Structure 1
Amino acid sequence: MTGGGAASLAFGKEQSFKGSLVDSDSDSNPDYWQFGRDASVTELELDRALQELTEADEAEYVESVAGNLEGAFAVEAVISSDVHGDVEDLVFNDGGTGFTPGRAASGRVFAGINYLDGTAERELIGCVPLDYSVSYEQGEPVSYTLSMAYADEKLDTSITPSSINSVSDGTSAMFHGVTLDIDGTTVTKLQSAELSISNISRFQWGASHTAVDAVLARPQTELTVDAILTGPSRTELAYGSADATETAARMNSVSASFDVAVDGTSVSAYNLPKVKPNTHSWNDLITDGDTDTTDSTTFNVNGGVTVA
């Protein structure tokens, strides 16, 4: 039904960069997925990289010519056990379980709108991940953000995806399903945490106005943790090692894990082999009786993130 502001949003997984979509049951109909509940598109922009040309006897630029086409897409949504493994297939190029050198994972995003006089859908082609994060806030649903670059797009007057794999009731992740372990110990009284990965992939260019391929860049991972202070364990790690009482010139790494579960069943367990504090602070040391002292730590994550 045509109306004002009725939108649709779904994605598919490309079998190759800018290639055909995955059809898991070989029925000639590609597979499509929702991103999750409370989905919000925070960026959808096409950049034609216009370059302005001059002529010697003209005071102003006389022409603009198109350069490399590149689009930007970003979405945030609540993690769901129904679809989040498929979202991770767009992020992690090693079958959704981690990163491996080579071609980036890619997909297509279908963003449609039924406006008052018709329908318009933008099909974003060759979408590759740039940044990805998972965020925990005490008392809130567990959310993620995904920003992507895309290589090309097409415009249609109808909505393409059908039989979309959607989110069922009771499958969205809540704060009480999160477990964060650092150096073998669960962080209690956790207030907020974010696992973020940047610089995931990049385009390769040739004699075309659109990218000809996409490869893994150099993924960089950080873990930020804020919890009510229950002991000095993270302060000790910031000094250099467990049980340290003074700073050391060299620091030890410890392992960590960030697990998101729904009703006791893990949706995504991020294994972080080597974490090391980059910054560490105590907050609200002198409280007014209504707040608690917390410690905030930002960890560098090395050694290869894996997802189970």
Structure 2
Amino acid sequence: MTSSGSGSLAFGKEQSFKGSLVTDTNSDPQYWQFGRNETITELSLDNQLQRLSEAGAVESVESVKQNFEGAFGVEAAISADTFGDVEDLVFNDGGTQFTHGRPNSGRIYAGVDYLDGTSERELIGCIPVDCTPINYEQGGMATFSISFLYATEKHSTSITPSNVTAVSTGTSAPSHAVRVDIDGTTVTKLQSAQISISNISRFQYGSQGPEPIDAVIEQPETEVTTEAIYSGPSRLEYALGDADATEPQDDVIAVPGTIDVTVDGTPVSTYNFPQLTVRTEAWNNTISSDDITEPLTWNADGKPAVSIT
């Protein structure tokens, strides 16, 4: 970016992998803003060059391109206006959960007006790899982040997206828009919470060229972390193995949970977890003038492990 406001960012949803975009009733491509406070955390490509050597040469004599792969990462504040469309990029079963087969894919348009012109990169065949759909910190905006791989790209000297669905005032999620319930009980004095999903999808390559020719769902794994000011032993008991447990049990029970985002009375998303099992638990600031907090990491499992309503 050469100065404030010189960059642009939008995305569209592909109807098929590397295919045309979803259109409106006038057959015009649709574009969306990720959210406010957008940050591109990564935009890079890798030609996966292989060095070749030759008898009599001390150094490599050439580099040959193998597979092409691009990477893109974005972070933004959750907005009631566009978050459902962001979720469509991640969850391939109607934007609400995962199913086998191909992942959903999209196109991302990153542009910049520099001193002598305009440059835009159209990232094609973007598939989600890792996603943090909800990241809550007490006193800050609720955000999300997604890491994508992309299959190919085009460069342009003008900005492509027009009529972008943008975020309107009053629709971004502050920290008090987030609520966490574990086993039917709201976690009070919540300090942080996060949903992390990894291993979402991957590319498939062939012999037709260096670019990916298809994409497939890998094995999504969902993890939930919570940290709250300590207010009783109930979650420690879950970590020991069961409600009312006073020592480690032979097994650890799973309990249901939800993380809900509601902005000024408008429901945005509720993430449902049928089976949350404590993997780690700790006490922080046990002997301190600061509040004692209890961070926990929960494995999310089930069929599905996570779903959105």
Report the TM-score when normalising by structure 2.
0.97
Aligned partner of 1:300 in structure 2 is 299
Which residues in structure 2 correspond to 1:207-218 (within 5 Å)? 207=207, 208-218=209-219
Aligned partner of 2:246 in structure 1 is 245
Task: Tell whether the 8 Å contact from 1:17 to 1:126 is kept in structure 2 after alignment.
Answer: yes
- 1:35 maps onto 2:60 in alignment: no
Helix, strand or coil at the partner of 2:54: coil
Shift of 1:29: 1.7
| RMSD after superposition | 1.1
Helix, strand or coil at the partner of 2:236: helix
Aligned partner of 1:275 in structure 2 is 276
Write the distance in 2 (CA, Å) between the matches of 1:59 and 1:84: 55
Gaps of 5+ in 1: none
Q: Deviations over 1:176-208 (max 9, x none)?
A: 111100011000000001111011000011112
Aligned partner of 1:100 in structure 2 is 99
Write the distance in 2 (CA, Å) between the matches of 1:230 and 1:223: 20
Aligned partner of 2:288 in structure 1 is 287
Aligned partner of 1:150 in structure 2 is 150
Aligned partner of 1:165 in structure 2 is 165
Aligned partner of 1:76 in structure 2 is 75
Shift of 1:132: 0.7
The one-letter amino acid paired with 1:146 is I
Task: Tell whether the 8 Å contact from 1:4 to 1:116 is kept in structure 2 after alignment.
Answer: no
Q: Deviations over 1:135-179 (max 9, x none)?
A: 101111100001000000000000000000000000001111111
Aligned partner of 1:58 in structure 2 is 57
Q: Which runs of 4+ in 1 moved over 2 A?
A: 2-5
The one-letter amino acid paired with 1:163 is N
Shift of 1:4: 4.1
Write the distance in 2 (CA, Å) between the matches of 1:68 and 1:233: 51
Shift of 1:281: 0.2
Write the distance in 2 (CA, Å) between the matches of 1:135 and 1:119: 33
Figure out how many residues of one structure are paired with residues of the other and give that number. Answer: 304
The one-letter amino acid paired with 2:281 is H
Write the distance in 2 (CA, Å) between the matches of 1:30 and 1:242: 52
Change (3 A) 1:3 1:233: closer
Shift of 1:81: 0.3
Write the distance in 2 (CA, Å) between the matches of 1:183 and 1:190: 16
Aligned partner of 2:108 in structure 1 is 109
Identity %: 57
Write the distance in 1 (CA, Å) between the matches of 2:57 and 2:246: 71
Q: Deviations over 1:75-119 (max 9, x none)?
A: 000000000000000000001000000001100000000100011
Helix, strand or coil at the partner of 2:226: strand
Aligned partner of 1:123 in structure 2 is 122
Task: Tell whether the 8 Å contact from 1:12 to 1:107 is kept in structure 2 after alignment.
Answer: yes
